[in-house]
């Protein structure tokens, strides 16, 4: 087995953090599924913006849409939804083989609704119906309004990937909302056996911001913590996952066939060239997790990855690092809120550029 296949054998799902018509039409995604253990796909406005800018397969359809569809957002959806459906179809065998536990493709609600619970629920329902695939995850941001929307969508039986999580508190809030949504669905007589949800915790951006704060402090102790905050956060989040979903508090829902919400490691391409290219991959391999990999990071894993189940290692050390950061005046929850706002702004900018490309 190559390193990607070895990683999958250790219980971690590998999802591709990219989607375009070229990947589908040129057989790249199918090859990744067959050869590199890819069992899911994530998309976002930035990914689709890049797809429309670089793939030659949209031009003819876009020309027809410009003549027939006056709304740029509907033009975008008319281009993106077939890509999502095609990826879902390629991964349907994975979904079937895993008993509905894997093989998902994510499509994001427009970022403009991140602070509107009701509209997020409406848009998620609309997109879910438009795609009409059993292995779709609708992406909803982890804002406070998104948390409420996620809970409501879970109660409605719509599967969700909660995105733009940057802190332990944000992640725990999503875990708790999932449990409330499942309970509400079960109490209403709904079937929760096919309910599925993912919590996407972003990593490299955390180190980018925290490292700047550590460098501003400038002490030897502060500088020694650079590049460690994100991994510490991820390991502590995994401990919270175990405490939430593998303790007696989830037992009643599990007895009804409920599946725990899975932690997904996002933003796993290293942004600092001084750091190893698999910094956010190898240390976080372990069962019941997902890593969504950009193309470059997947290639690095296949080429020189050394997989081992390590996500449970260093929990005490991670807590000590968090304590050290707090003692230095770095508030990791404030870091999370800052990065979530920046992430939403970035996605909204990409979405506006995307719509401009279809105009």
Residues marked active site are found at 139
- Distance (Å) of CA 268 to CA 14, 84, 263, 296, 318: 12, 22, 13, 10, 18
Q: What are the backbone dihedrals phi and psi of residue 12, each rounded to the nearest 5 degrees, phi first?
A: -100, 135
Q: Degrees (nearest 5) of the Cα angle 93, 19, 197?
A: 60
Among the listed residues 30, 37, 134, the one whose alpha carbon sits nearest the alpha carbon of residue 90? 30
Q: Whole-angstrom Cα distance, residue 192 to residue 194?
A: 5
Q: What length does the chain have?
A: 359
């Amino acid at each position: 087995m190559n390193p990607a296949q070895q990683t999958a054998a250790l219980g971690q799902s590998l999802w591709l953090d990219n989607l375009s018509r070229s990947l589908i039409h040129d057989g790249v995604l199918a090859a990744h599924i067959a050869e590199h253990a890819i069992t899911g796909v994530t998309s976002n406005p930035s990914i689709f913006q890049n797809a429309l800018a670089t793939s030659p397969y949209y031009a003819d359809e876009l020309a027809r849409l410009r003549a027939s569809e006056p709304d740029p957002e509907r033009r975008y959806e008319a281009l993106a939804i077939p890509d999502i459906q095609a990826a879902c179809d390629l991964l349907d065998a994975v979904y079937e083989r895993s008993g509905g536990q894997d093989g998902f493709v994510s499509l994001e609600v427009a970022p403009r609704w991140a602070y509107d619970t009701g509209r997020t629920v409406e848009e998620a329902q609309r997109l879910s119906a438009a795609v009409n695939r059993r292995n779709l995850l609708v992406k909803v941001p982890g804002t406070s309004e998104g948390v409420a929307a996620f809970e409501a969508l879970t109660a409605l039986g719509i599967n969700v990937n909660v995105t733009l999580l940057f802190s332990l508190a944000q992640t725990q809030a999503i875990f708790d909302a999932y449990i409330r949504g499942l309970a509400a669905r079960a109490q209403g007589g709904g079937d929760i056996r096919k309910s599925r949800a993912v919590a996407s915790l972003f990593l490299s951006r955390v180190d980018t911001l925290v490292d700047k704060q550590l460098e501003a402090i400038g002490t030897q102790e502060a500088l020694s913590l650079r590049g460690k905050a994100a991994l510490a956060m991820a390991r502590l989040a995994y401990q919270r996952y175990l405490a939430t979903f593998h303790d007696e508090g989830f037992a009643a829902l599990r007895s009804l066939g409920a599946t725990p919400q899975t932690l997904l490691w996002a933003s796993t391409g290293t942004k600092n060239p001084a750091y190893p290219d698999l910094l956010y991959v190898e240390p976080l391999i372990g069962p019941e997790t997902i890593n969504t990999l950009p193309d470059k990071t997947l290639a690095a894993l296949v080429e020189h990855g050394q997989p081992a189940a390590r996500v449970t290692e260093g929990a005490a050390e991670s807590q000590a690092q968090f304590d050290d950061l707090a003692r230095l005046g770095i508030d990791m929850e404030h870091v999370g809120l800052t990065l979530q706002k920046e992430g939403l702004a970035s996605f909204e900018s990409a979405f506006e550029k995307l719509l401009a490309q279809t105009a």
